[in-house]
Amino acid sequence: MGHDHDHADHDHDHDHSGHGPVPTPGHSPDHAHSHSHSHGFGHSHSHAPANTGDWRYLVGLTVNLLFVIIEFGAGWFAQSTALMADAGHNLSDVLGLALAGGAAWLARRAAGSRRTYGFRKATVLAALANAILLLFACGLIAFEAFRRFNEPAPVDSGVIMVVAGIGFVINLGTALLFMKDQHTDLNVRGAYLHMMADAGVSLGVVIAGAAILFTGWSLIDPIVSLIIVAVIVIGTWGLLVDSVDLALDAAPRGVKVEAIRDAFLALPGVTAIHDLHVWGLSTTETALTAHLVHDRTDGDALLAEAQSLARQKFSIRHTTLQLESGAALDCADC
């Protein structure tokens, strides 16, 4: 007896339970199971769009793009490589916001017959691109800082402090727009880190400008720049690791697969579990598939208990569970 099932994008919550797959319009085959014994099959998922707030990306993108143009022009006028470098870093943040906003929009597009998961994974790819952009920007800043050690250049401290101060206010304000959801959405976290990093750079430039103004020591500028780079790299490394893991369909941070396995095995009547997979559908949604071997006669009740366990204890609403009344032929260890 074989079953084909898949996940598709819906705007509502629904659960299926029973002894066979419930046909759902728009579902296409994903993986099949053929065993010589009875099965119970359940599929449960919730796809309410995350409140990603596209307006935040649009506001941040517009304001920061205008500031990049102004800052680069001011740096050219004042012959300040520090301001022009900061403008370049701001430009990387503009690109990062564009990626994050575009991914948030794509994530809400409906699934199709080919992309049965829709475009949710775009949020993961955007988070990964944001982390790479941040590290690339840090490399450029560090390169410029080391060059300054060898080639100190006089700068207009007054212009630097004023323009960088304005940049600090703009970037900090933009970062605050994303602060609320940074711990629940990796893509939002990327945008938040981008803007906080840029605010830190701008503040560092203000401090460096003030110190140079009072001391006349131009090497303060590259020293402060390297300190800022170190802070940004430390903060970005976690984002890079998490986004790479999600891109490789690893279990999201905070989701303990062994704890899920133990919880399922603790359900009354469950004797074994195999083919347990947990991965991130997007930066906010987690999916789970598993085969539960059991000796109960009330398969529907067991299915409901397992789905409820995944939702309530592990906050996983997108579950595909298959019940098996005996050891599976394709699982030698069951």
Render 185-236 in DSSP notation, one character per residue.
-HHHHHHHHHHHHHHHHHHHHHHHHHHHHHH--TTHHHHHHHHHHHHHHHHH
DSSP strands (E only) in 252-334: 270-280, 286-294, 318-324
Q: How far apart are CA 186 and CA 192, in angstroms?
A: 10
Report CA Rg, the chain: 26
| Residue whose pair of structure tokens reads 């691109």 in the numeric block | 129
| Domain ranges within the chain, ordered by starting residue | 2-21+32-47+251-324, 54-247
CB 209 within 8 A of CB 160: yes
Q: Tell me how far apart the alpha carbons of residues 300 and 150 are, in angstroms, rounded to a whole number.
A: 73
Question: Are domains 2-21+32-47+251-324 and 54-247 of this chain identical in fold?
Answer: no
Classify domain 2-21+32-47+251-324 by CATH number.
3.30.70.1350
Q: What share of the chain is helix, strand, coil (3-state, %, to 5)?
A: 55, 15, 30
CA distances 27 to 10, 14, 160, Å, are 11, 14, 58
CA distance 185 to 279: 15
Q: What is the C-alpha separation between 201 and 37, in angstroms, rounded?
A: 63
Q: How remote is the C-alpha of 67 from its chain's centroid?
A: 26
Report the Cα–Cα distance between both ends of the chain, in Å, rounded. Answer: 18
In this structure, what DSSP letter does residue 111 have? P
pLDDT at res. 155? 65
**Integer Cα distance of 26 and 169 in angstroms:** 48
Question: What is 54-247's CATH number, 3.40.50.300, 1.10.3720.10, 1.20.1510.10, 3.90.1150.200?
Answer: 1.20.1510.10
Per-residue tens of pLDDT for the chain, all 334 residues: 444 444 434 444 444 444 444 333 333 333 334 333 444 455 554 444 444 446 777 887 888 889 888 888 887 777 676 677 777 667 767 776 776 677 667 767 777 777 777 777 777 887 788 788 878 888 887 887 788 788 776 667 788 888 889 989 988 988 888 887 777 776 677 778 878 877 887 887 788 788 888 887 877 777 877 877 787 787 778 778 888 888 888 888 888 899 999 999 999 989 999 999 999 887 778 899 999 999 888 888 999 999 999 999 998 988 999 998 865 555 555 5
